[in-house]
């Protein structure tokens, strides 16, 4: 413009001014033949109060809805009782159950069987072989469809039902929140429950009347009897309203948890209007919300998946740098070991080279965090360190090391160490080693499914090699009776399987046992005499007298076996809780020289905790949800457990542990013999 005339300069200036006015009008809504456009304000990204080392992880930028344990419950029916049910039923409960029975055809004979066939709903509900119960359970966070869980069953407040022993829970719908009668909020159905009732086995099975036994016999559980039918949806809600950030989150999740063969859809799916959200045409996203599906690989452990998800980095570039930083932070801040372990697992196998230096770190918390991350990534170098800790560390660390050893790749040294720990004097260590051996060496521990249906047996009977005799029974998950016998076990047996010999736990001779108000008697008069048994069935009144095997495993099978045309062998057809109760009596009266141990019970405490976390924000499902006066059966609070055999009282909400229920006195004659195999 140096040689332009003043006139041309003025024209250029006027045109420039016009352009600037047009642009200004477009931005601020002025005009210049352009429709006004709304300018979207960009929200500031909120910063959570988390340590800097965790920034950039999914858990630091969003919340996962659906990760709280949920209470589910309903009113159900227990059938096949031995005259201990029936009685008067409150009108609101009676109306509710009559309606449900009519829906299912009771009264027309389609569902009722045996003596109940053809009964009206009222007659059915008042039958002495039927009881109306409250069914409650906790569904774990992220539990997928078809997953199983334990169910608690209790009689109604004020009920005249005296015992649930021997009963079977009919299929019961389990809905979100506490159970209600007809007219109350009908919330969403999440699961179903059914199966045989397991009651407290350490009291008199035929007990009745106002006694302590009455309290324990009117509540029970169905082990593994619940099944999720409609899982709660997991949803990630981001703190920032940003489409691009949501796309990055979805991409990071799907890269870390890729779809496996046979799975439908991605692990993370966006919602809304942006079809580029997950890389799938037509899939959309709302800036703040991402739907999460549990990958098949984590079906049995959704909690681990949720933990990994929280610590997954959104920007997955330079993972080695972050792995190194996590390890340095682990040394500097041992109090964050649990969270940093999650980060080291989520970052991937790139963390392994940096973890090796921490495997022998002097502080337990950082050391165990590194070993857990290394075991998760299948680093074989963790094995000798875990073996050392499992043998000599404090009890809590030993159990953690044993659990990690169960996840390692095949290693003969790990197997030898686990077999040695089956002889540990500490009950928890011994049981932990058994669970690890059972998980690592499928088929090594002999198992017998006791019951008519091998797919749904009464319980599983297992024999474990150990030089420390013990009878261990489960009260949670799958029902099991595990016999720790003497004879084979230890490092030599693990190295030379052909040299193993089967240790057989025997009934003591001579001995005399009476139980259950003399309905059961067992007697052997001398060391070479047969074992004679007398049993009177409280349900049928039939009395059985017979010589029985003195081998404990065979004796247990006899107690539970039900003779059929296909399996005509003799048996008493006892329930799982009856067998467990009788084994306890045998141990208490020194007919078995073996420690009797069981799990600490936590089901009632877990249900109560879930009831505190369950929020019923959804509106009622249908028009039934109108009457606020409907009865609501809320879960009862946990109470301290009673001391057993001089053991101190244990609060039910404490960490589960193995507790001895009987400590038989030592006898000069051993209860185990060793025979060649």
3-state secondary structure of 504: strand
Ramachandran class of 33: left when φ > 0, alpha when ψ lies in -120 to 50, beta otherwise: left
Structure tokens, 41:
């304000």
Structure tokens, 65:
């809805």
pLDDT band, residue 244 (cuts 50/70/90)? confident
Task: Give domain status of residue 435, yes or no.
Answer: no
Query: Could you give the CA distance from residue 406 to residue 375 in angstroms, rounded to a whole number?
Result: 10
Task: Give domain status of residue 576, yes or no.
Answer: yes
Share of the chain above pLDDT 70, in %: 75
For residue 252, the number of C-alpha atoms closer than 13 Å in the C-beta half-sphere is 25
Ramachandran class of 114: left when φ > 0, alpha when ψ lies in -120 to 50, beta otherwise: left
Query: Could you give the CA distance from residue 375 to residue 352 in angstroms, rounded to a whole number?
Result: 10
HEC letters along 354-392: HHHHHCCCCCHHHHHHHHHHHHHCCCHHHHHHHHHHHHH
Q: Which carries the bigger pLDDT value, residue 657 or residue 537?
A: 537
Give residues with Cβ within 8 angstroms of 354, minimum separation 6: 320, 323, 324, 326, 327
pLDDT in the model for residue 104: 67
Same-domain check for residues 158 and 273: no
210 has pLDDT over 60: no
495 has pLDDT over 80: no
pLDDT in the model for residue 547: 96
Task: Give domain status of residue 416, yes or no.
Answer: no
Number of Cβ within 10 Å of residue 32's Cβ equals: 12
pLDDT in the model for residue 531: 96
Contact between residue 199 and residue 577 where contact means Cβ atoms under 8 Å apart? yes
Same-domain check for residues 591 and 461: yes
pLDDT in the model for residue 317: 92
- Please state the rounded mean pLDDT for residues 532-551: 92
111 has pLDDT over 60: no
Q: Which of 77-91, 226-240, 575-589, 642-656 has the lowest mean pLDDT?
A: 642-656
**Would strands 480-485 and 470-473 be described as parallel, antiparallel, or unpaired?**
antiparallel
Q: Of the candidates 228, 245, 264, which is a domain's last residue?
A: 228
615 has pLDDT over 80: no
**DSSP conformational letter for 551:** B
Task: Give domain status of residue 352, yes or no.
Answer: no
Could you give the maximum distance between any two Cα atoms of the chain, in Å? 133
- Please state the rounded mean pLDDT for residues 417-443: 89
pLDDT in the model for residue 191: 95
Strand partners of residue 62 = 238
Task: Give domain status of residue 365, yes or no.
Answer: no
Q: Which of 51-60, 260-269, 384-393, 525-534 has the lowest mean pLDDT?
A: 260-269
27 has pLDDT over 50: no
Share of the chain above pLDDT 90, in %: 42
Going by C-alpha positions, the residue among 663, 664, 503, 482 that lies closest to residue 580 is: 482
Helix axis angle for 364-376 and 383-392, nearest 10°, is 130
Number of Cβ within 10 Å of residue 443's Cβ equals: 7
Strand partners of residue 503 = 674
Q: Of the candidates 282, 310, 338, which is a domain's last residue?
A: 310
Task: Give domain status of residue 379, yes or no.
Answer: no
Same-domain check for residues 486 and 564: yes
Give residues with Cβ within 8 angstroms of 535, minimum separation 6: 519, 520, 521, 543, 544, 572
- Please state the rounded mean pLDDT for residues 23-27: 39
- pLDDT per position as a tens digit, 288-332: 789 998 888 888 888 899 999 999 999 999 999 999 999 999 999
Residue 82 main-chain phi, psi, to 5 deg: -100, 60
pLDDT in the model for residue 205: 54
Same-domain check for residues 35 and 131: no
Same-domain check for residues 205 and 126: yes
Same-domain check for residues 177 and 290: no
257 has pLDDT over 80: yes
Structure tokens, 475:
């009260």
Q: Which carries the bigger pLDDT value, residue 1 or residue 162?
A: 162
Q: What is the pTM of this model?
A: 0.78
Same-domain check for residues 463 and 527: yes
Same-domain check for residues 257 and 209: no
Continuous segment of H or E residues that includes residue 65: strand 62-65
Contact between residue 213 and residue 204 where contact means Cβ atoms under 8 Å apart? yes
Q: Of the candidates 264, 288, 310, which is a domain's last residue?
A: 310
Going by C-alpha positions, the residue among 549, 459, 565 that lies closest to residue 509 is: 549
Chain-centre distance for alpha carbon 33: 66
Domain that holds residue 28: 1-39
Question: CA angle, corner 135, sides to 131 and 137, nearest 5?
Answer: 160
Residues 571/576/582/584 CA torsion (nearest 10 deg): 150
- pLDDT per position as a tens digit, 262-297: 777 889 988 754 434 444 544 444 447 899 988 888
Cis-peptide, bond into residue 419, ω within 30° of zero:
no
Strand partners of residue 447 = 462
Same-domain check for residues 190 and 294: no
Mean pLDDT taken over the chain: 79
User: Domain tally for the chain?
Assistant: 4
6 has pLDDT over 60: no
Per mean pLDDT, which of 21-25, 83-87, 214-218 is the most reliable?
Answer: 83-87
Q: Which carries the bigger pLDDT value, residue 607 or residue 29?
A: 607
pLDDT band, residue 618 (cuts 50/70/90)? very low
How many residues does the structure list for the chain?
677
Give residues with Cβ within 8 angstroms of 281, minimum separation 6: 275
671 has pLDDT over 60: no
pLDDT in the model for residue 14: 54
pLDDT band, residue 651 (cuts 50/70/90)? very low
Task: Give domain status of residue 383, yes or no.
Answer: no
pLDDT in the model for residue 546: 94
542 has pLDDT over 60: yes
Strand partners of residue 612 = none
Ramachandran class of 279: left when φ > 0, alpha when ψ lies in -120 to 50, beta otherwise: left
pLDDT in the model for residue 278: 45
Task: Give domain status of residue 397, yes or no.
Answer: no
Residue 530 main-chain phi, psi, to 5 deg: -70, 165
What are the DSSP calls for 78-112, one per residue?
EE--SS-------HHHHHHHHHHHHHTTTTTTSS-
- Please state the rounded mean pLDDT for residues 524-531: 94
Contact between residue 358 and residue 367 where contact means Cβ atoms under 8 Å apart? yes
Same-domain check for residues 239 and 214: no
Same-domain check for residues 543 and 670: yes
3-state secondary structure of 463: strand
Tokens 């005249």 found at? 160
- pLDDT per position as a tens digit, 403-421: 999 999 888 999 999 999 9
Same-domain check for residues 186 and 254: no
Query: Could you give the CA distance from residue 436 to residue 449 in angstroms, rounded to a whole number?
Result: 20
């Amino acid at each position: 413009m140096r040689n332009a005339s003043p006139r041309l300069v003025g024209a250029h200036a006027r045109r420039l001014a016009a352009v600037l006015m047009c642009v200004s009008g477009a931005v601020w809504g002025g005009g210049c033949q352009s429709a006004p456009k709304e300018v979207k304000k960009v929200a500031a990204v909120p910063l959570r109060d988390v340590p800097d080392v965790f920034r950039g992880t999914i858990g630091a930028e969003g919340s996962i809805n659906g990760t709280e344990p949920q209470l589910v419950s309903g009113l159900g029916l227990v059938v096949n009782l031995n005259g201990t049910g029936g009685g008067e039923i409150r009108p609101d409960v009676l109306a509710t159950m009559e309606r449900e029975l009519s829906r299912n055809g009771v009264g027309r004979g389609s569902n009722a069987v045996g003596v109940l066939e053809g009964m009206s709903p009222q007659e059915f509900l008042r039958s002495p072989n039927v009881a109306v119960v409250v069914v409650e359970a906790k569904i774990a966070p992220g539990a997928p469809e078809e997953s199983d869980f334990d169910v608690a069953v209790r009689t109604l407040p004020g009920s005249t039902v005296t015992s649930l022993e021997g009963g079977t829970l009919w299929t019961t719908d389990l809905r979100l929140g506490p159970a209600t009668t007809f007219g109350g909020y009908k919330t969403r159905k999440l699961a179903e429950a059914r199966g045989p009732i397991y009651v407290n086995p350490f009291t008199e099975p035929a007990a009745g009347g106002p006694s302590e036994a009455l309290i324990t016999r009117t509540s029970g559980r169905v082990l593994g009897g619940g099944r999720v039918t409609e899982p709660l949806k997991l949803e990630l809600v981001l703190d920032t309203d940003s489409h691009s950030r949501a796309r990055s989150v979805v991409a990071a999740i799907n890269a870390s948890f890729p779809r496996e063969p046979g799975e439908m859809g991605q692990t993370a799916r966006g919602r809304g209007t942006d079809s580029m959200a997950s890389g799938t045409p037509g899939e959309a996203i709302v800036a703040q919300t991402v739907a999460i599906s549990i990958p098949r690989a984590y079906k049995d452990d959704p909690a681990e998946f949720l933990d990994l998800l929280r610590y997954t980095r959104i920007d997955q570039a330079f993972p080695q740098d972050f792995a190194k930083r996590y390890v340095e932070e682990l040394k500097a801040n041992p109090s964050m070991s649990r969270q940093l372990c999650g980060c080291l697992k989520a970052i991937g196998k790139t963390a392994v080279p940096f973890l090796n230096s921490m495997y022998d770190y002097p502080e337990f918390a950082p050391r165990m965090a590194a070993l857990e991350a290394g075991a998760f990534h299948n680093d074989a170098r963790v094995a000798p360190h875990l073996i050392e800790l499992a043998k000599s560390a404090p009890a809590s660390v030993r159990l953690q090391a044993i659990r990690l050893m169960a996840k390692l790749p095949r290693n003969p040294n790990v197997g030898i160490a686990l077999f040695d720990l089956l002889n540990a004097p500490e009950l928890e260590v011994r049981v932990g080693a058994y669970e690890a051996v059972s998980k690592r060496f499928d088929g090594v521990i002999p198992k017998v499914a006791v019951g008519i249906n091998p797919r749904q047996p009464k319980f599983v009977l297992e024999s474990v090699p150990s030089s420390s005799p013990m009878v261990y029974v489960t009260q949670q998950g799958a029902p099991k009776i595990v016999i720790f016998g003497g004879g084979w076990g230890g490092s030599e047996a693990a190295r030379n399987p052909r040299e193993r010999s089967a240790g057989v736990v025997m009934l003591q001779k001579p001995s005399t046992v009476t139980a259950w108000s003399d309905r059961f008697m067992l007697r052997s008069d001398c060391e070479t005499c047969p074992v004679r048994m007398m049993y009177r069935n409280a349900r049928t009144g039939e009395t059985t007298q017979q010589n029985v095997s003195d081998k404990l495993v065979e004796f247990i099978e006899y107690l539970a076996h039900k003779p059929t045309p296909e399996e005509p062998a003799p048996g008493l057809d006892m329930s799982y809780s009856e067998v467990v109760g009788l084994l306890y009596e045998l141990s208490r009266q020194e007919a078995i020289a073996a420690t009797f141990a069981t799990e600490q019970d936590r089901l009632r405490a877990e249900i109560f905790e879930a009831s505190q976390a369950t929020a019923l924000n959804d509106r009622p499902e249908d028009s039934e949800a109108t009457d606020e006066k409907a009865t609501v059966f809320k879960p009862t609070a946990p109470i301290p457990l009673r001391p057993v055999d001089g053991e101190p009282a244990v609060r039910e909400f404490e960490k589960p542990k193995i507790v001895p229920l009987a400590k038989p006195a030592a006898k000069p004659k051993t209860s185990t013999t060793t025979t060649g195999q």
